[in-house]
Structure 1
C-alpha cells in the first residue's frame, strides 16, 4: 500500500477485520481498529459501517492531534499524519502522556521526538507501527 496521507497510514497500521476481535489490550475491536463499547453485540461489520466507524474515529484523532502541539500547522503533512496515527491508536489521554515527545516537537527537534516515541511502552506494544512512525517523524516524509 502506498502511504500518501494519514488515513492510509492508519489503515496500513490497523489492518481491516470485518469480524470482532480482541486487540492487544483486550478491547473488542472491528473494522480498522474501531473499539466497540462494553456490552456491544456487534459481531461483523459491512464495508459501509466500517467506513463510518473509521471516518468518525479519524475525525476525533485528527482533532486530538491538532490540539496536541502549538506548532501543528507548521509540521509537514507526514509529521501531522504520525500525530493523527498516534492519536487514533492511543486516544487523547494516551497521547497526552508523551510529554517529552511534545516538548521535542514544539522545539522542532524531530530526532529527539522520534527517540521519545521509541522509548515508550507504546513502541514496545506496537512494534512496526512505532518504528515506521518514528522514521516518518525523523524525515518529515512518507518515503
Structure 2
C-alpha cells in the first residue's frame, strides 16, 4: 500500500463528503469548522494558516492544501495499527483514513469491534459493525460509501 496512492484516492472523496465552506460554521457535532471539514477547535489553525485567511475566509485552493495535509497526518495515525500497515487495498486504507479524519482518532478507537474485524480481514463483519453504529446513521451517504470501500475494496 502506497501512501501517495491512498491520499490521492481518498482526498477528493473526503472533500465531497465534507463539502466546502469558506467561512467558519458549526458542524453537526457543534464544533467550529472551516474549509473541507477542518475542526478548528480540536485542530487549531497555525499562525501560517491564520495568515492564509482573507477577511476570515478561506479559498478552495487553500482549504484543499489544508485537507491534504490533515489527511496525511491521519494516514500516519492509522499506521499505528499493524493491520492498517498490512492492508493491500487502497480503497480500504482510504476509508480508514477518512474515518479518522471524520471521527478523530479517539472516536475511531471506539469502534473496537470494527477494528477487531479489520485486524482479522473480515471485511463483511467490519461493515456490519459500522452499520450497527450511531455514526452510520448520522453521516448518511458517507457511511454507505465507506462501507462499500471496506467491503468491496473499491
If the TM-score is normalised by the length of the shorter chain, which range does it land in? 0.7 to 0.9
Whole-Å separation in 2 of the counterparts to 1:69 and 1:125 = 28
Given the alignment, which residue of 7, 12, 18 partners 2:11?
Answer: 7
Residues 1:22 and 2:26 aligned together: yes
Following superposition, the deviation at residue 17 of structure 1 comes to 1.2
SS of aligned partner of 1:5: helix
Residues 1:78 and 2:91 aligned together: yes
Whole-Å separation in 2 of the counterparts to 1:66 and 1:7 = 17
**Which runs of 5 or more residues in structure 2 are unaligned?**
1-7
Alignment of 1:64-75 (within 5 A): 64-75=77-88
Check 1:127–1:60 CA distance in 2 against 1; reply closer, same or farther (3 A cut).
Answer: same
List structure 1 runs of 4+ shifted beyond 6 angstroms: 38-42
**Which runs of 5 or more residues in structure 1 are unaligned?**
none
Contact 1:9 1:81 in 2 (8 A): no
Alignment of 1:38-117 (within 5 A): 43-117=56-130
Whole-Å separation in 1 of the counterparts to 2:17 and 2:65 = 18
Q: Please list the CA deviations of residues 51-99 of structure 1 after superposition, one character each: whole Å capped at 9, or x if unmatched.
A: 3321331122111222234343333100001001100101110011111
Given the alignment, which residue of 134, 141, 154 partners 1:121?
Answer: 134
**More deviation, 108-117/45-54:** 45-54
Check 1:71–1:46 CA distance in 2 against 1; reply closer, same or farther (3 A cut).
Answer: closer
Contact 1:68 1:102 in 2 (8 A): no
Structure-2 residue corresponding to 1:37: 41
Contact 1:69 1:105 in 2 (8 A): no
Whole-Å separation in 1 of the counterparts to 2:41 and 2:24 = 12
Q: Please list the CA deviations of residues 17-70 of structure 1 after superposition, one character each: whole Å capped at 9, or x if unmatched.
A: 111111001111111100113898973112343133213311221112222343
**More deviation, 110-119/29-38:** 29-38
